[in-house]
Amino acid sequence: MPTKPDTEAPDLLVDVRDLSVHFALRGGTLSRLFGRDSGTIRAVDGVNLSLRPGEVVGLVGESGSGKSTLGRALLGLVPATEGSIRLRDQDLAQLSRRRLRQIRRVVQMVFQDPNAALNPSMTVEEAVGDALRVHGMKSAAERRAGVVDALERVGLSPVELFLSKYPRDLSGGQKQRVVLARAIVLNPTLLVADEPVSMLDMSVRAKILQLMLDLKHDLDLTYVYITHDLATAKYFCDRVAIMYLGRVVEIGPTEEIFAHPRHPYTKALMAAIPEPDPDKMVPRDLPRGEIPDAAQPPLGCAFHPRCPEAVSGCGWESRDLRTLVEEHWLRETAAYDEERTVIGDLAHLDAPSTSATIGSGGSAQVRAILEGMKAEDPDEPLWSGVQSIEDAGSGVTVSFEPAPSPALRRAGGVEVACVLYPDEG
């Protein structure tokens, strides 16, 4: 599924192809003992991403969308389950552990929580100098020179004041500067910044972001900037990739994404940006529902249970039917007791499937209830995804239109993974 124009191919710094990172879900001791598989989490699921030298690419999405995992995979901190990550001409998946450690001269990472990212029992000099030490710089004097230079670059001066400090003696902003110093002291090419300012006070956020831009300019860095906050992404990035449940759902130049958000999830995120003008405030929460379980993502488009623009081909399935019936009962409490006996148990619908058999009190009665629900809210997109309702025993089988997870396709200047944007051709 090559979606990038061929002209981009030559001077790529990083080229991520169909990358998947899955984590085995740890079951209890018993199920591990019996070798029972308790499922996998698809933290990253078929992502394509390329970085040109000098670019700032944002990874944006809610918590749990796989941004950090993708970032960590770029350093080889988590192994790729499938796909490849090429850094210039090396494939990270092919490298030995030793070579992988050497790669980390070139790719560095800044962590979200500066309070946790520094060893509490190392001084600033030891912490920053250790990056040099593990890459073989034996002389303490040479290391100190490198550390002093890095600390100056991140604006921790006078440097002498900070060298012998422990993390507990520093403020959050200062700690993050130390983390940045440790990241740049090896002269890397690519910096993965995982929500570098989200744990900091408002007052220092802008300063740290400005510092990162200065460093990029001075040291010719390429950034992967991870955030759940579109506002800083807009300020910081040349391109953004919007991620949802391990997939990139929209990617393109920052201006275009912000001027014309196409994917419904992007639009929802935009609506969640706090608006400085109170009259223009839009409801801040994302449309209905919570982030689904990453171990069992929705069929079809993973966003469909929450999507306000969903249509028939979005991958409707048994779990959506259960949600719909239960929401109906929440509204129509009077009808609950009677309908409940007709419909029967719904728990089996939790196994994701495009056909759902419900009802125990007679096919005609079940049909009537479903018809009633449809009449109640004819605009509910789930109904458009229903292919057929057939009698099955004392209930009915509802069949939904099977749908694949939409692929990224060009739309305007960006790429979108949504059935509303079929290939422009």
Partner 1 sequence: MRGTPRALLKPFTETTGLARWMLVAGVLLTAVFVVFAVFAPWIAPYGFAQASSGGTPFPKLGHPSSQHWFGTDRLFFDVYSRVIWGARTALKVVVLSIVLCVLLGVPLGLASGYYGGWFDRFVVLVMDAMYAFPSFLLAIVFSFLLTNVYGGSVVAVSLSLTAVYIPQYFRVVRNTTLSAKEATYVEAARAIGASDGVIMRRYLLQNVIQSVPVLGTLNAADAILTLAGLGFLGLGIQSTDAAEWGHDLNRALADAGSGVWWTGLYPGLAIVLLVTGLTLVGEGLNETLNPTLRRRRLLPVVMPPRNVSTPAEEEQG
Ligand X SMILES: Nc1ncnc2c1ncn2[C@@H]1O[C@H](COP(=O)(O)OP(=O)(O)O)[C@@H](O)[C@H]1O
Q: Which residues bind partner 1 (CB under 8 A)?
A: 72, 75, 77, 101-105, 108-109, 111-113, 116-123, 130-131, 134-135, 166, 179, 182, 186
Structure token digits, residue 37 = 């598989």
CB of 267 to Mg ion, least distance (A): 22
Residue with tokens 């391990």: 246
Footprint (CB under 6 A) of ligand SF4, residues 383-422: 406, 418-420
Q: Residue 68: which of Mg ion, ligand SF4, partner 1, none does it interact with, CB under 5 to 8 A by kind? A: Mg ion
d(CA 264, CA 83): 27
- Which residues have a Cβ under 8 Å from the Cβ of 263 and sit 6 or more positions away? 242, 249, 250, 416, 417, 418, 421
327 binds, among ligand SF4, Mg ion, partner 1, none (CB under 5 to 8 A by kind): none
| Nearest residue (CB) to ligand X, 45 versus 339 | 45
Which helix H or strand E contains 108, and what residues bound it?
A: strand 107-110
What's the Cα-to-Cα distance from 359 to each of 331, 346, 370, rounded to whole Å?
Answer: 20, 9, 10
Distance in angstroms (rounded) separating the CA atoms of residues 178 and 154? 8
User: Around Cβ 83, how many Cβ atoms within 10 Å?
Assistant: 18
Query: By CB under 6 A, is residue 380 in contact with ligand SF4?
Result: no
- Which of positions 55-84 make contact with Mg ion (CB under 5 A)? 68
Q: Within a 13 Å sphere around the CA of 115, how many CA atoms are in the beta-carbon half?
A: 7
By beta-carbon proximity to ligand X, the closer residue of 108 and 174 is: 108
Residue 109 binding result from ligand SF4, partner 1, Mg ion, none, given CB thresholds of 5 to 8 Å by partner type: partner 1
SS3 state of residue 374: helix
Which of 184, 257, 269, 314 lies at the binding interface for ligand SF4 (CB under 6 A)? Answer: 314
Q: What does DSSP say about strands 107-110 and 14-24: parallel, antiparallel, or unpaired?
A: unpaired
Binding mask 288-327 for ligand X (x = CB under 6 A): ------x---------------------------------
> Which residues lie near ligand SF4 (CB under 6 A)?
263-264, 301, 303-304, 307, 309-311, 314, 406, 418-420
Binding residues (CB under 6 A) for ligand X: these are 23, 41, 43, 61, 63-69, 294
